[in-house]
Amino acid sequence: MLSPTRARTSLLAAGATVAALLLSSLTGGVSHAADHESCRPDGLYKTPGVDVPYCSVYDTEGREKMGADHKRRVIGYFTGWRTGKNGEPAYLASDIPWDKVTHLNYAFAHIRSDHRISVGSDGEKNAATGMTWPGVAGAEMDPAYGYKGHFNLLSKFKKQHPDVKTLVSVGGWAETGGYFADNGDRVNSGGFYSMATHADGSVNQAGIDTFADSTVAFIKKYGFNGVDIDYEYPTTMKDAGNPLDFSYSNGRRAGLVKGYAALMKSLREKLDRAGAADGKHYLLTVAAPSSGYLLRGMETFQVQKYLDYVNIMSYDLHGAWNEYVGPNASLFDDGKDAELAAAGVYSTAQYGGVGYLNTDWAYHYFRGSMPAGRINIGLPYYTRGHKNVQGGTDGLWGKAPSTNCPAGAGLTKCGDGASGIDNLWHDKDTAGKESPAGSNPMWHAKNLEKGVVGDYVTKYGFPSDTKLTGTYARKYDATLVAPWLWNAEKKVFLSTEDEQSVKAKADYVVDKGIGGTMVWELAGDYDWNAAKGQYEIGDSLTTAMYEKFKSASPYGAKRSTVELPVKALDIGVDFGQFPLGDSNYPISPKLKITNNTKATLPGGTEFQFDYATSAPANAKDQSGFNTRIVRSDHTAANNIGGLKGDYNRVSLKLPAWQTLAPGASVELDFVYYLPTSTPSNWTVTFGGQSYALAGDLARGTTLVDPGTGPGPGPDPSPTPSPGGPCAAPAWSATSEYGGGTTVAHKSHQWKSKWWTKGEEPGTTGEWGVWQDLGAC
């Protein structure tokens, strides 16, 4: 999480993977219990045939219940390694500002070589389940639990603060493709990559099931409210993620997105079934990248439908993985980003002047497929920075090239990262050497700004008589909403976060109706210790957000910004067949439309949908469907200071000469120029009537069928197929079936609405995968 997202920017040479977006798989319809359906968040997938107890977590508007003074989320990552046992300052559950946060993500659990979730072997050295802190006030173990460590303390404090939810986060930068064994050595097991995807790119459903089953058991054992997946990264871009994982990730690129989608669907369904049995809804969330480079290789991020909410890692947008000196986590673009300028983003017409290395762009990317309230923006409580900076304004948008690139990093020109006293929280490479990155907790950065050498420096290997060189002057750019420290004597640039920027970002969250904020990591927050004359670990930034949010209006719970029809049709829409990796510019998937109704769609049938303003309003098709933009909420020539609205609305029509019979599909070549998440808010209009699409999973819609008569009205009594010999092949529990496949089972014929395996026809309910075609 803390390490670079490698936000490289040559989108002209970037690409995505081959896999299908199965919107038709998302018929959500009506719950068996009307009260629970009334609490389901807009667009959230519901496991067929399961009475999911949404109302245990959400109100009847589909908004999360978090306590009277928590109108927006404040999600803090709590790391397991700041135990104090190595002499460095500890950060324990007793240090968390429990009254200021709404959710806590424990970082990290990992995936063992057998694909099961784990935090290591039990024992007194295991920080999660076995360690104790004798004599530390607030860290006394609660004997009511059969485990110790951080998990005991989290459970203890959660009893005192029952509105706070805890989740176990799996993966992270260092443990996406491997894990740390009990002795501290990293085991290169493949992690998420091999658990979800075979070496040939096919889905490893057996590995996924093992992981998902063990995860459900894990969160129930240790009292968590859900699981957070921090998979860095299931993208088809070459050399993305941790260089230690490239041997796994690069060979599987063509199948990573499909494996990711299968993983999330399996987790969602297993959590839903467990929640129905336990009478409480379990949360499923992810830490998602914000880099346009990474996201273009994740197709349309089609897993959003399975998530309660997404936490955007809207940081690590600039850092020492390349030479360009810029903010770690700016809120907006300023039209001057040197990395984007070098990649031709501002000068290439198709980009529409849209700069995409900022929080606002990343938020709008996800807003294309989710209500604002199911999105949280990320804030870093740590710095990133360069040394030997040349040019720019007080270092901003300057350059700091280095010829000493990390081995295996896949970079031809990396950055000269700040080191030493300017890199307190540094990672180490495989040889145990400091990785220069300018990474510091904000409490240390505040001391640098004040010219203070904190008494803690000896615990990080610095001598007690350490002196600072030069002055760390605080700078702030109001357009970017980004502070930084500039040491003109050392030519050191440290991108920071402080109360001014955090309050501005909190105002943005409130104004946009966003669900809240996510913080990596709580131990980087600060308070001033007047007695010692230094900044130390505290909660100033978290308190600033809490104060902004406690009286805010409720967050945005609806995806669409206009009223949509309440009657929905089962018409599948699938953006798939994305070119792989560097071949994907412009972004050019095929849009497949499948008619799963009993009526023939006539020529001229119009489809409309929204896609995010993260991509310019210049999408088109190359197949004669007259694709055009009928509305754009952002019409400016750039996005300096932020995108002005959420959606571009598209219209396309079946050619006048082309009808679409029941069960038939049509494909068109679609083209757009910057990444967008899954297009949403679909309507289909024919015969003088408009419908929504069931795959949008919108609240309050009812699935109907236009029937086979002369008009488009619903046919509530479909005629079953006549009896007779079953001509279709028999259903097999071990076979995979694509959408539109017909099988025979128990003297009936069944048609699959989407990809499935192991789901028996007749057991998945009216809203399930199998449509009953009648007796045979």
Instruction: Give me the phi and psi of 629, to 5 degrees please.
Output: -90, 120
Q: How far apart are CA 770 and CA 764, in angstroms?
A: 7
Question: How does DSSP classify residue 640?
Answer: B
CA end-to-end span of the chain, whole Å? Answer: 55
Q: How far apart are CA 616 and CA 356, in angstroms?
A: 11
> Per-domain residue ranges for the chain?
382-496, 567-703, 736-775
Q: Which residues contact 715 (CB under 8 A, 6 or more apart)?
A: 598, 705, 706, 707, 708, 709
For residue 10, the model assigns a pLDDT of 35
Q: Name the strand (E) or helix (H) holding 590.
A: strand 590-595
CA distances from 639 to 313, 334, 590 (A): 20, 8, 28
Instruction: Give the mean pLDDT of the chain.
Output: 91
- Give the closest residue to 534 by CA, choosing from 441, 470, 462, 461: 441
Question: Within 10 Å of residue 591's Cβ, how many Cβ atoms?
Answer: 23
Q: Which is more confidently placed, 312 or 767? A: 312
The tokens 């789901």 sit on which residue? 759
Instruction: Give me the phi and psi of 450, to 5 degrees please.
Output: -90, -5
The tokens 């700040």 sit on which residue? 418
Given a cut of 90, whether residue 407 has pLDDT beyond it is no
Question: How does DSSP classify residue 63?
Answer: P
Q: How far apart are CA 730 and CA 643, in angstroms?
A: 53
Q: How far apart are CA 313 and CA 362, in angstroms?
A: 9
For residue 280, the model assigns a pLDDT of 96
pLDDT confidence of 413, banded at 50, 70, 90?
A: confident
Side-chain half-sphere exposure of 129, counting CA atoms within 13 A: 16
Question: Within 10 Å of residue 347's Cβ, how many Cβ atoms?
Answer: 10
For residue 431, the model assigns a pLDDT of 87
For residue 767, the model assigns a pLDDT of 61
| DSSP annotation string for 576-642 | E-PPBGGG-SSB-PEEEEEE-SSSPBPTT-EEEEEEETTS-S--EESSSS--EEEEES--SSS-BT-
- Options 3.40.50.150, 3.40.50.720, 3.10.50.10, 3.60.110.10; which CATH number does 382-496 get? 3.10.50.10
Sign of CA dihedral 313, 317, 319, 321: positive
**Once rounded to an integer, what is the mean pLDDT over residues 181-189?**
95
Q: How far out from the chain centre does Cα 735 lie? A: 31
| DSSP annotation string for 532-548 | TTEEEE--HHHHHHHHH
Residues 410 and 421 sit within 8 Å (Cβ to Cβ): no
The phi-psi region of residue 604 (left if phi > 0; otherwise alpha if psi is between -120 and 50; otherwise beta) is left
For residue 651, the model assigns a pLDDT of 98
Same fold flag, 382-496 and 736-775? no
Residues 546 and 525 sit within 8 Å (Cβ to Cβ): no
Q: Which residues pair with 475 in a beta bridge?
A: 484
pLDDT confidence of 411, banded at 50, 70, 90?
A: low
Q: Which is more confidently placed, 430 or 30? A: 430
Q: Which residues contact 530 (CB under 8 A, 6 or more apart)?
A: none
Given a cut of 60, whether residue 15 has pLDDT beyond it is no
Side-chain half-sphere exposure of 718, counting CA atoms within 13 A: 14
Question: How does DSSP classify residue 622?
Answer: S
**Once rounded to an integer, what is the mean pLDDT over residues 149-165?**
98
**What does the H/E/C string look like for 310-332?**
EEEECCCCCCCCCCECCCCCCCC
pLDDT for 560-602, tens place per residue? Answer: 999 999 999 999 999 999 998 888 889 999 999 999 999 999 9
- Give the closest residue to 51 by CA, choosing from 309, 308, 281: 281
For residue 748, the model assigns a pLDDT of 82
Q: How far apart are CA 626 and CA 385, in angstroms?
A: 48
**Pairing mode, strands 526-529 and 534-537:** antiparallel
**Once rounded to an integer, what is the mean pLDDT over residues 17-21?**
27
| DSSP annotation string for 126-145 | -TTTT---TT-TT----TTS
**Pairing mode, strands 283-289 and 748-752:** unpaired
Q: How far apart are CA 290 and CA 365, in angstroms?
A: 9
Residues 245 and 177 sit within 8 Å (Cβ to Cβ): yes
Q: How far apart are CA 181 and CA 185, in angstroms?
A: 5
Given a cut of 70, whether residue 14 has pLDDT beyond it is no
Residues 566 and 487 sit within 8 Å (Cβ to Cβ): no
Side-chain half-sphere exposure of 67, counting CA atoms within 13 A: 18
Residues 368 and 34 sit within 8 Å (Cβ to Cβ): no
Sign of CA dihedral 600, 604, 605, 609: positive
pLDDT confidence of 755, banded at 50, 70, 90?
A: confident
460-487 burial, b at 16+ Cβ within 10 Å, e below that, comes to: beeeeeeeeeeebebeebeebbbbbbbb
pLDDT for 462-495, tens place per residue? Answer: 999 999 999 999 999 999 999 999 999 999 999 9
Tokens of 217: 């058991």
Q: How far apart are CA 510 and CA 488, in angstroms?
A: 37
Q: Which residues pair with 518 in a beta bridge?
A: 75, 378
Given a cut of 90, whether residue 754 has pLDDT beyond it is no
Given a cut of 70, whether residue 28 has pLDDT beyond it is no
Q: How far apart are CA 361 and CA 340, in angstroms?
A: 13
For residue 765, the model assigns a pLDDT of 64
Q: Which residues pair with 186 in a beta bridge?
A: 180
For residue 296, the model assigns a pLDDT of 94
Domain 736-775 has CATH 2.10.10.20: yes
pLDDT confidence of 215, banded at 50, 70, 90?
A: very high
Domain 567-703 has CATH 2.60.40.290: yes
Q: How far apart are CA 601 and CA 598, in angstroms?
A: 9
pLDDT confidence of 752, banded at 50, 70, 90?
A: confident
Residues 199 and 247 sit within 8 Å (Cβ to Cβ): no
Peptide bond just before 134 cis, omega within 30 deg? no
Q: Work out the angle at residue 299's Cα, subtended by the Cα atoms of residues 294 and 303, and round it to the nearest 5 degrees.
A: 100
pLDDT for 692-741, tens place per residue? Answer: 999 999 999 999 998 644 444 444 433 333 334 577 888 888 787 877 78
For residue 709, the model assigns a pLDDT of 42
| CA diameter of the chain | 91
**Once rounded to an integer, what is the mean pLDDT over residues 682-694?**
96
DSSP H helices, 456-524, are: 499-512
Radius of gyration of the CA atoms of the chain, in A: 26
Given a cut of 70, whether residue 678 has pLDDT beyond it is yes
Q: Which is more confidently placed, 27 or 203? A: 203
Q: How far apart are CA 737 and CA 91, in angstroms?
A: 50
**Once rounded to an integer, what is the mean pLDDT over residues 269-293?**
97
CA distances from 577 to 548, 587, 616, 618 (A): 44, 11, 22, 20
Q: How far apart are CA 524 and CA 174, in angstroms?
A: 19
Kindly report the length of the chain. Answer: 776
